[in-house]
Amino acid sequence: MTTVGLAPGTELSGSRPQPRALIVTLYGLYAREVGGWLGVATLVRLLGELGVDEPAVRSSISRLKRRGILEGARVGGAAGYALSDRARAILDEGDRRIFERHRGSLEAGWLLAIFSVPESERERRHTLRSRLSWLGFGTAASGVWIAPGHLDAETRDVLERYELSAYVDLFRADYLAFGDVRAQVAQWWDLGRLQGLYDEFLAAFGPIRTRWRRRRSPVDAAAFSDYVRALTAWRRLPYLDPGLPAEVLPPSWNGARAADLFFELHALLAEPAHRHVDGVRHGPDLDRRIPTAGP
């Protein structure tokens, strides 16, 4: 099972996902199984089916190269791009977050990250905050971030990978007093915004699920388009939602319904989408005749 775990770069309903986000989704789903490489012609063809024109593909690839996510490479004389080692590690980590459901419990406690970064290392402070936010931590106080206890191993891995562990102390904690923990959680995390994002996902992809439920047999190209768009929209949400205990969530919480929707779309569409990509990848050998996207 493969997907993507790089920093989110897409919106949900009402706008098209950014081409870079779609490219990351394609690499996460379909490149790692064949060595991490995709040919230029394959990328142009598949992204064209997603409504992205060739100039936008090339521009987005160049940006991903500058960010150190993709590297230019030729395979059998064909021009293409491969995932960097760093990107592979992040994608592998993302598989666990995106395709596995984790819900914390009050009995498992909380994870506290207490940090201090010297003013002279302001860039490291920004990186640390970005990584904690990416992991789904909420802010309890200045320099004190909080997450459900089940994120301890993942947090240690990320802090060590980004060489941030020297700035952070991690603690396992229980909330004892003096307020209502549900009210505190609503201050530590922006649950209203997250509810809104889940609503957008449900509104955008609920009708797509209904349409696919009515189909007697899948249309592979259509399955590919719907699946990649759904996954690109979904993959940001498990990072914003760290799996808070059900006891501290609002009664109207819609995260479980949104997850049910995504996993049903995955069950319906992943296999025919993969067949379509295989057909494109093993079709006429255009990759040898299309140049790379430049330096």
**56-81: average pLDDT:** 91
- Tell me the pLDDT band of 10, cut-offs 50, 70 and 90: very low
Q: What is the mean pLDDT of the chain?
A: 87
* DSSP letter string, 160-225: HHTT-GGGEEEEEE---SSS-HHHHHHHHS-HHHHHHHHHHHHHHHHHHHHHHHH-SS--HHHHHH
In a domain, 212, yes or no: yes
In a domain, 11, yes or no: yes
**pLDDT > 60? residue 9:** no
Share of the chain above pLDDT 90, in %: 64
**pLDDT > 70? residue 290:** no
> What is the total count of domains within the chain?
2
Q: Does residue 196 sit in the same domain as residue 154?
A: no
Q: Does residue 204 sit in the same domain as residue 97?
A: yes
Q: Does residue 76 sit in the same domain as residue 218?
A: yes
Q: Does residue 78 sit in the same domain as residue 118?
A: no
Reported as a single tens digit per residue, the pLDDT across 276-289 is 999 998 875 544 44
Reported as a single tens digit per residue, the pLDDT across 219-277 is 999 999 999 999 999 998 998 899 999 999 999 999 999 999 999 999 999 999 999 99
Q: Does residue 21 sit in the same domain as residue 95?
A: yes
Q: Does residue 13 sit in the same domain as residue 97?
A: yes
pLDDT at residue 285, rounded to an integer: 54
Q: Does residue 158 sit in the same domain as residue 120?
A: yes
Our CA dihedral for 32, 34, 38, 39, rounded to 10 degrees, sits at: 170
| Domain limits for position 48 | 1-103+190-289
We report the CATH number of the domain holding residue 243 as: 1.10.10.10
**67-72: average pLDDT:** 92
Helices (H) and strands (E) in the chain, counts: 11, 7
